[in-house]
Chain A
């Protein structure tokens, strides 16, 4: 074993770094290391899908949130470009791909997620598809944008929408290819999806629904693509010079599961972010933790949740256990609309119903998720002025039983329920 750390954190993103920060505020001396597959210090993944990143004179620099001096001043060993391949929870060791074995007293798994690769593409095509998840990938997109006028974006979810919005803002011609019949179909109903489609088409984005990229055209560079409709089989040839895929994320939990740490959709953790293994915590996008407000397990993949769960895990590692109790939200403004999310936006689940509020005609629409006579989450389009009230309703577990009809009335003031 090369070295043993009191606190070992796997993952250099916001969850892992937030944990390191919390640990250092409470324990200035305990040895601490962050292992990261990426070479970079903490940067904002959120900024990678904002036009400012691509228009800034110092695009890469503008995304960094921590400088090397922060790590050295806090005596944090940042072990970048290293991949963990095995965990031994009995010996309390992790093995790295480069052969190094590191010991720990307290371990945090904040390994994040990875973008899904486009399936069914020939290998030569697959190599030419770009993804937006890491800083290096964003740099590659930034570099390629200079010589690209028309870009095809594959994926009808959040990042796909973000990509279309930012490319449109950068005055690029954008073609959107979505395998589903509608946008954001895992979260949105037909009306919400229609808002997205309308926003795209009104800003000149060419939309292909129920379609996939069958083949990229061009030898050394992408010159076009064959888009195939999954329902009719009809094929359309388009010209484009860049193809970007954003079809969701997944996580590789093999070595975590093999170590005996329980996993499901993520690494299972309780409200203290403690996993099933002694002295092992999980935080951020990789964690499926027990949400005390929802009263059920959840995987949340947003910045505020990652930061909060990282900090909560750190308190546990410091033997100062605190339970998670927070409702997170985030918004985006793109293509002339604002989209907001608060709490648990999953449309399906135990005892779960959705109440819709507003309409396309009114240019404002919300889907309120109800479970056990409480609001547990909401999606909001052009209705962010309800975010504050909804956050309070969710966090305080206020019963809305008997008020469901009023909730669907856009004129009804949600603050009356507080």
Chain B
């Protein structure tokens, strides 16, 4: 069964560096303000999702395992 994740972005913390969208263009896209947002039909590869979340210098991206409720990032 495909694993599901909850991805939250703290728009206040995002500094618009665009790294997450560059690493995971099928998951994140920049808004007009370059603030990161999750694509409506995001194709989530867990490894790429976590790599993108970990690239954020302000830890603005939170990734949670939807099945277990465990927060995967930030640790």
Residues in chain A within 8 A of chain B (CB atoms): 14, 44-47, 50, 52, 62, 65, 67, 302-304, 307, 328-333, 340, 384-389, 391
Contact = CB atoms under 8 A, between A and B. Distances in A.
A288 to B, nearest CB: 21
B17 to A, nearest CB: 4
A44 B55 CA distance: 10
A386 B32 CA distance: 6
B41 interface: no
Nearest to B31: A388
A44 B33 contact: no
A340 B55 contact: no
Nearest to A387: B34
Given A303-B57, A384-B33, A340 B16 contact: yes
Contacts of A44: 57-59
Contacts of A391: 18, 34
26 contacts: A14-B57, A44-B57, A44-B59, A46-B15, A50-B13, A65-B54, A65-B59, A67-B75, A303-B15, A304-B17, A304-B18, A307-B19, A307-B55, A328-B17, A329-B16, A329-B17, A329-B18, A330-B17, A331-B15, A331-B16, A385-B32, A387-B16, A387-B30, A387-B32, A387-B33, A388-B30
Interface of B: 12-13, 15-19, 30-35, 54-55, 57-59, 74-75
Contacts of B54: 65
B16 A46 contact: no
Nearest to A70: B54
Given A303-B15, A304-B17, A328-B18, 5 more contacts: A44-B57, A330-B16, A331-B15, A331-B16, A388-B32
Interface centre among A14, A304, A328, A340 (most CB of B within 10 A): A304
Name the prevailing secondary structure of the B interface residues: loop
Contact of B16 (A45, A52, A65, A384): A384
Contacts of B16: 329-331, 340, 384, 387
Given A67-B75, A384-B34, A388-B34, A47 B15 contact: no
Contacts of B59: 44, 47, 62, 65
Contacts of A302: 17
A67 B16 CA distance: 25
A385 B33 contact: yes
B57 A47 contact: yes
A85 to B, nearest CB: 30
Contacts of A47: 57-59
B17 A50 contact: no
B18 A50 contact: no
Contacts of B75: 67
A205 to B, nearest CB: 21
A61 to B, nearest CB: 10
A47 B15 CA distance: 10
A199 to B, nearest CB: 17
A331 to B, nearest CB: 4
Contacts of B13: 50, 52
Contacts of B58: 44, 46-47, 50
Contacts of B17: 302-304, 328-330
Contacts of B15: 46, 303, 330-332
A379 B12 CA distance: 19
A14 B57 CA distance: 9
A187 B15 CA distance: 19
Contacts of B34: 329, 331, 340, 384, 387-388, 391
A389 B32 CA distance: 7
B54 to A, nearest CB: 7
Contacts of B55: 307
Nearest to B57: A46
A307 B13 CA distance: 19
Nearest to B55: A307
Nearest to A65: B54
Contacts of A330: 15-17
Contacts of A384: 16, 33-35
